[in-house]
Chain A
Amino acid sequence: MSTAKITYRKDEWEVNSGMTIRDAIVKVGLDPYAVLALREKKLVNDQTILEPGDEIRLVNVISGG
């Protein structure tokens, strides 16, 4: 398996491993400043390189009202 899974709310994407989480966030159309990445429930920085089989959950950080 050479891909990693990215989830954000109800959306899910498969992306190639080997890229940074930041690049993956941009690739799926999200703003790297508007989300944080969790891997195995632990916060990871967005320069982390995606490994094959990684499952990354993105958490929204922007709230309004």
Chain B
Amino acid sequence: MKCTKCGATAAIGMPQHRLNLCAEHFLEWVPAMVARTIEKYAMFSPDDRVLVAVSGGKDSLALWDILIRQGYRTEGVYIHLGIDHEGYSDISEEKVRAFANAASAASQGDVSFRVVNVGETYGKAVPDLARTRRGRRVCSVCGLVKRHIMNRVASEGDYAAIATGHNLDDEAATLLGNTLHWQANYLLRQAPVLPETHPRLARKVKPLCHLYEREMAAYALLRGIDYVEEECPFSVKAKSIFYKDLLNQLEHRSPGAKLQFYTGFLQAHEGGLFREEASAPIEKTCPRCGQPTMAEGLCAFCRLWESTP
């Protein structure tokens, strides 16, 4: 298989784009795709400060790498969840630290990141917290805790946006799950940019949303980024992985099926299919932490800790 651009041996084939690229051209193509996505959705500008949520995995570290190389003013935030299965959280933090150190050395600038340790900050690690919550899966508790902390950190600093490493497979799997269950509210809110609808609810952006997960792994490998290859031990049987598997079966039959599924959804959004309710502002505020909430009283995060023994 030859590179479509130069005829050298291709490192990766992307049938959905009818494009095969060598390492050199692929390492140009991925950042260009990210730059186009940032520009298309006006995610942030070169003068903005961007908080990058990093997990130690391929997507978030690759995103951070691309933003640093493109000259954006970034800072990383790593949320230590306290997952001690084979040292998962400690190892992930170490990968983030090693990346930041290497990026600092390469750019001759300071690539900084901060760590929020859930156990040390709030008194319980996420798996322990989830065990006290009957009926709630660890992933559900984890998502709630991470969103709250990201909003908190963003509101404490002067960041224009929180950038997350969600790729097209993540977004398509979420879309499939929400569609299968007709989760209208979630469908309304799914977008490459989640606007700041409350002073304590940071703007969230997904610059990798047009790139396949496979492409992000290839980018990380070709850049020599040392990331956590193992999945989170709690996500092994996650529905999102099942949905990704289903979507990949579609992709085998019809290359580009995932891309078409997701971009078709975005076009429907842009066409106004979901417009009215999506723009409704959140007006209620949690009396304890000050973050927005859909109902009167404590927000879901504070209720989680309120009822924890």
Chain A interface residues toward B at CB < 8 A: 31, 33-34, 36, 38, 43-48, 59-65
Tell me which residues across on chain A come within 8 A of B234, comparing CB atoms: 65
B142-A33 in contact (CB<8A)? no
Tell me which residues across on chain B come within 8 A of A47, comparing CB atoms: 1, 13
A36-B231 in contact (CB<8A)? no
B139 at the interface (CB under 8 A from A): yes
Tell me which residues across on chain A come within 8 A of B13, comparing CB atoms: 45-47
Tell me which residues across on chain A come within 8 A of B245, comparing CB atoms: 31, 34, 62
For A60, the closest partner residue in chain B by CB is B229
B178 at the interface (CB under 8 A from A): no
B197 at the interface (CB under 8 A from A): no
In-complex Cβ contact of A33 among B216, B238, B252 (8 A): B252
A59-B217 in contact (CB<8A)? yes
A44-B11 in contact (CB<8A)? yes
Tell me which residues across on chain A come within 8 A of B238, comparing CB atoms: 64-65
A43-B12 in contact (CB<8A)? yes
A65-B244 in contact (CB<8A)? no
Tell me which residues across on chain A come within 8 A of B58, comparing CB atoms: 61, 63
B214-A64 in contact (CB<8A)? no
Tell me which residues across on chain B come within 8 A of A45, comparing CB atoms: 1, 9-13, 20
A31→B252 CA distance, assembly (Å)? 9
Known: A43-B11, A61-B214. 18 other contacts (CB 8 A): A33-B248, A33-B251, A34-B214, A36-B218, A38-B221, A43-B12, A43-B218, A47-B1, A48-B1, A59-B221, A60-B229, A60-B231, A61-B58, A63-B213, A63-B231, A64-B235, A64-B238, A64-B241
Distance in angstroms from A6 CB to nearest chain B CB is: 16
Tell me which residues across on chain A come within 8 A of B171, comparing CB atoms: none
Please report the total number of B residues contacting A with Cβ < 8 Å.
36
Which residues, 233 to 265 on B, are CB-close (under 8 Å) to A?
A: 234-235, 238-241, 244-245, 248, 251-252
Task: Give the one of B139, B217, B239, B240 with max A CB within 10 A.
Answer: B217
B221-A65 in contact (CB<8A)? no
A31→B253 CA distance, assembly (Å)? 13
B139-A65 in contact (CB<8A)? yes
Q: Which 3 A-B pairs have the closest CB atoms?
A: A65-B235, A64-B241, A61-B217
For A38, the closest partner residue in chain B by CB is B221
A45→B173 CA distance, assembly (Å)? 25
B76 at the interface (CB under 8 A from A): no
Known: A33-B248, A34-B248, A47-B1. A59 touches B231 (CB 8 A): no
A48→B234 CA distance, assembly (Å)? 35
B221-A36 in contact (CB<8A)? yes
Tell me which residues across on chain A come within 8 A of B12, comparing CB atoms: 36, 43, 45
A34→B229 CA distance, assembly (Å)? 13
A65→B235 CA distance, assembly (Å)? 5
Instruction: Sample 6 A-B pairs with CB under 8 A, ordered by A number.
Output: A31-B245, A33-B251, A43-B12, A62-B213, A64-B241, A65-B231
B248-A65 in contact (CB<8A)? no
Tell me which residues across on chain A come within 8 A of B23, comparing CB atoms: 43
B38 at the interface (CB under 8 A from A): no
Distance in angstroms from A31 CB to nearest chain B CB is: 6
Tell me which residues across on chain B come within 8 A of A31, comparing CB atoms: 245, 248
Tell me which residues across on chain A come within 8 A of B11, comparing CB atoms: 43-45
A64-B231 in contact (CB<8A)? yes
B214-A63 in contact (CB<8A)? no
